[in-house]
Amino acid sequence: MTSTHVVNVVKAMTRAQKVGHGGTLDPLATGILPMALGDATKTVAYVMESAKSYRFTMRFGIRTDTDDSEGEVVETSERRPSDEEIRAGLDDFVGEIMQRPPSYAAVKIQGERAYDIARRGETVELEARPIRIDDYRMTGRPSPDEAVFEVTCGKGAYVRALARDLGEALGCKAHVSALRRLAVGGFDEDNAISLDNLRQIVDDDSLPQVLVPLRTALAGIPAFALTEPQAVRLCSGQSIVISPKLVTGLPVDHEPEDDGDGLTVQALKGGEVVALARLHGSELSPLRVFNPQERAN
C-alpha cells in the first residue's frame, strides 16, 4: 500500500473534503503516516520538516538496485562485519553528512521522478546532498547476515542509502530488508491507529475523539498568544506589531535584526492555532489562516 493509497482510503472513509499525509513511506515500509484532514492539510509541509525515527533490518552480503529487498541483486560479498566493526563504522554517519539518494527515489530530475527513469532501465546518477543524522545505532544482531538499527534523522535522509553506504564502508555490501517508521515529529506509535480501527471509529461517529490538535503537527515552531483584536486583524490578512520577547520557543541565537526571510510562528488564540505567521523584527504577517469550521469537516 502506497501513501497515496492511504490518503484515498482515509478520504473515502471520513468523507473529508481534503486529506493529506505528512511524508511518503517506501512501499516496503510500515509504521507512522501522519494524516491531515480538512484545514489541517495546511500543516503538512511543516510535518514533513520534522525529525523522523526508524527501525530497520540491514542484510549484509547483498546490494540491490533499489537498496532494499524489492530490487534486483547487483553485487554480493562473502564478508560479514563484526559487531565492533559495525559500531565503529556508525560514527561516520552521525551529524551533518553528505548522502547520495538511491536511484529509485522520488527526487526529480528535469521534472521527472528518479524512480520512473530507473524503471525504464536508464542510468540514474543523483548528486550527494547534505542531510542530518541525529542518532544511528545498532540495537540487535539476529544473525551474522543481519543487524537491526534505529535511526533518527532530518528531512531528506534515505534509510536505504544509509544501509547502502554503511555496507560499502564495511566492505560487505548491504540493503534494507525491513523498515518501520516509529515517529514523525510529535506523531508516534503510542497514539497511532490502524486503518481497520479508523473504519470502526468512523462507523461509531467517534472520529473527533482521535483527532489531535494542530499544535501536534507544528511542534517545535515558536508560538505567540494573540489578544482578541490581534486575532481578528491577523486572521483578516493584516499584519500586526508585537513584542518578539513575548514569542515562546524562539531559538536561543535569534536576533530580530538578522531575520532575513523571517521566522515562522504559530499564532494562538485561547490555546488553539488560528494562523501561521511570519515574524520580521516586530511585525507579524499571516501565512496560513485556519478556519475552525473547515477543520471540523
pLDDT digits (tens, 9 = 90+) for 188-216: 999 899 999 999 999 999 998 889 888 88
Question: For residue 104, what pLDDT is reported?
Answer: 65
Euclidean distance between CA atoms 91 and 93, whole angstroms: 5
List, for residues 216-233, the tens digit of each pLDDT value: 888 889 999 999 999 999
* pTM recorded for the entire structure: 0.86
CATH 2.30.130.10 maps onto the chain at: 221-296
What is the grid cell recorded at 241? 506589531
* Location of each CATH 3.30.2350.10 domain in the chain: 51-184
228-232 contacts, C-beta under 8 A, 24 or more apart: 228/269, 231/267, 231/269, 231/274
Predicted local distance difference test score (pLDDT) of residue 90: 97
Q: Which CATH architecture has domain 51-184?
A: 2-Layer Sandwich (3.30)
Closest CA to 227 of 283, 179, 286, 267: 267
pLDDT reading at 3 higher than 80 = yes
Is 165 assigned a catalytic role?
no
> What is the helix (H) or strand (E) element at residue 117, kind and residue range?
helix 114-119
- Which is catalytic among the residues 26, 67, 68, 165? 26
**In this structure, are residues 222 and 273 in contact, taking their beta carbons and an 8 Å threshold?**
no
For residue 60, list its beta bridge partners.
174
Q: Comparing C-alpha atoms, which of 184, 271, 279, 272 is closest to residue 222?
A: 279
Give dist(CA 173, CA 164) in Å, integer.
7
Domain 221-296 fold: 2.30.130
According to DSSP, residue 8 is labeled H
- Give pLDDT, residue 291: 75
